[in-house]
Structure 1
Amino acid sequence: MTTDSAVGVAARPAAPARTHTAPPVPARVDQAPVDPALLDPDPVDPAPAHGTRTVADPGADAYRAAMGLLPTGVTVITAGTGDRTEALTVSSVTSVSLAPLLLLVSIGATGRLRRRVEEHRAFTVNVLGTGQEDLSSRFASHGRPSGAAAQELLGPRTGQTGNALVDGAVLSVDCQVEHQYPGGDHVLFIGRVAALHMPDEPPAPLLYHRGGYADLHRKEAAA
């Protein structure tokens, strides 16, 4: 056996010669790009980018338009009955508390309804349903009726707190005034809930969005 005289170990057989495989040639940088349509016969366009607009120190018109982006229900607030009936279309209604049951409404500070609620110390929130757009518009106008004429449009029923109830409403909530607070050009009334009036099969609620009426089944609002 042949040994390596320097280290005294068996000589290793010669290693086989290495072979070198050339790496793949990269595509030329000036090669024309591949048309994506050839790879995907039905490409999907990406969603367009949308900008965001900021309005610093907004005025009343800008604020009104911005809040119109918030969809709300539509209610008619009533106070009194018969010749003492006042009613107004209002969208600023908020449930406040469950213990006790409290409901907040925001009413214009200089209007007839504010004065009637203060005198009567009660109000009723009537939530309108689809198909009651005309009633909403009638009581949103400056020339809206009052007294017996208003009661005739609303319906003949009277709630527990002595206020007119809207026929065909999704819900009517009778309230006794618990608190009253100033709110700029409005007055905030917080009422303690005295009674609920609900039909066995309530209609879909009427909504208001971006200056027009809508409902849960209509995609576009109708003015």
Structure 2
Amino acid sequence: MSEAVDVPDVDPDEYRQVIGRFASGVTVVTTRDGRLDHAMTANALMSVSLDPVLLCLSVECEARFHDAVVEAGVWGVSILPSSARATAAWLSTRGRPLHGQLERIPHTYGPATGVPLLDDSLALLECRTVDTHPAGDHTLLVGHVVWMATTEHPGDALVYYRGQFGALP
């Protein structure tokens, strides 16, 4: 067994810069709480398992979306094309109005869970939450994928890298 070594705490701002070097895809995650649609831009998404098909989403505990998605128990994922930069920026804006977030964004409601899904996405998924895990200032939601679809002719993917949106062909 190796001896414990005192290591200084990692600075959160430096960590943000380092992890910003990891390019990730950009999605919009949605849920429906009664008659109110909730949405947020997310890049903290991870495929977990193929048997059963599971997806993991990380949601900040302080975000308005957090309580809505935990309570609803269902959520949708719309994987964004590069043409959706404005949508991604809007749905990542803190303090935007809670009502009507999706009014100007073409969307339909998923066939399995009824959550909103963005029309011009590269792919769509609907999930039912099967587990949650507290993780620092976030909650990890593990969802069983109950429905999905892809675009026949996908365009370039929207990515997030070093704090900015970009394109990945």
Would you call these one fold, judging by a TM-score over 0.5?
Answer: yes
Structure 1 CA distance, aligned partners of 2:84 and 2:29? 14
Out of 70, 80, 87, the residue aligned to residue 118 of structure 1 is 70
Residue type of the alignment partner of 2:23: P
Q: Which runs of 5+ in 1 are unaligned?
A: 1-54, 218-223
Task: Tell me the residue number matched to 2:164.
Answer: 212
* Contact 1:139–1:145 under 8 Å retained in 2: no
Secondary structure class of the residue paired with 2:115: coil
Structure 2 CA distance, aligned partners of 1:202 and 1:86? 25
Query: Computing the radius of gyration over CA atoms, which structure comes out larger, 1 or 2?
Result: 1
Identity of aligned residues (%): 31
Task: Tell me the residue number matched to 2:56.
Answer: 104
- The TM-score with structure 1 as length reference comes to 0.68
Q: Which has the higher contact order (CA 8 A, sep 6+)?
A: 2
Deviation (angstroms), 1:197:
2.4
What is the CA deviation profile of residues 74-95 of structure 1, one whole-angstrom value per residue up to 9, with x for unaligned ones? 0111001784111111110000
Cα distance change, pair 113–206 in 1 and its aligned pair in 2 (3 A): same
Task: Tell me the residue number matched to 1:197.
Answer: 149
Residue 162 (structure 1) aligned with residue 114 (structure 2):
yes
Structure 2 CA distance, aligned partners of 1:113 and 1:81? 10
What is the CA deviation profile of residues 87-145 of structure 1, one whole-angstrom value per residue up to 9, with x for unaligned ones? 11111000000000000000011221111112211011111101111100101111234
The equivalences for 1:1-223 within 5 A come to 57-80=9-32, 83-147=35-99, 149-159=100-110, 160-217=112-169
Does 168-177 or 75-84 show the bigger shift? 75-84
* Contact 2:58–2:138 under 8 Å retained in 1: yes
Structure 2 CA distance, aligned partners of 1:60 and 1:154? 34
Aligned length: 162
Residue type of the alignment partner of 1:153: R
* Contact 2:73–2:129 under 8 Å retained in 1: yes
- The TM-score with structure 2 as length reference comes to 0.89
* Contact 1:80–1:163 under 8 Å retained in 2: yes
Task: Tell me the residue number matched to 2:3.
Answer: none
Q: Which runs of 5+ in 2 are unaligned?
A: 1-6
Secondary structure class of the residue paired with 1:182: strand
Secondary structure class of the residue paired with 1:132: helix
Structure 1 CA distance, aligned partners of 2:65 and 2:128? 15
Deviation (angstroms), 1:146:
3.1
Does 95-104 or 159-168 show the bigger shift? 159-168
Secondary structure class of the residue paired with 1:57: coil
